[in-house]
Amino acid sequence: MKRIMSPSRVRRTASMILPGSMATAWTQAHFSMLLSTDKLIKELWVSGGVHLLLYCIKTGRIPPTFVTNYRLLCDFFFEEKIPVALIVTHLEKEDLMDDWYARNEGSFDSHAVKCVDHACITAVANLDPKGSE
């Protein structure tokens, strides 16, 4: 059986980092970001839809803004209909990059962050895995 692949389009969006916590007073910038996000998502639906959300997060502790933005995107904008894959960056100091995810998977579970898969990556070329030079 021959598998036919349709062309894929990847769209990079601006970061949706909301400053502070949810207790912070909402500013015009917050509303502007929400309106821009809503506009972009409507444009994406018109141009062929959204089939996968790649959510990038920097290594370290999971910030409250990650959970807030995840909820906003997945629960509100996409109504839990779009699968999410998590991309974890800045893992240069890990011997095995997937170890970071294994250690932190419970944190994602405790925040009810549902991902269909994950990738642990680094963008540094020719780096000794132990971080030494």
H-type helices in 8-118, by residue range?
28-46, 64-70, 98-110
Distance CA 13, CA 76 (A): 17
The answer to whether the pTM exceeds 0.85 is no
When comparing pLDDT for 33 and 129, which is higher? 33
Hey, what amino acid is at 12?
R
pLDDT digits (tens, 9 = 90+) for 64-112: 888 888 888 888 888 888 899 999 999 988 888 899 999 999 988 998 8
Query: What is the residue extent of each domain of the chain?
Result: 52-133
- The answer to whether the CB of 121 falls within 8 A of the CB of 89 is yes
Report the pLDDT averaged over residues 37-58: 84
Distance CA 56, CA 96 (A): 19
Main-chain phi, psi angles of 84, to 5 degrees: -120, 135
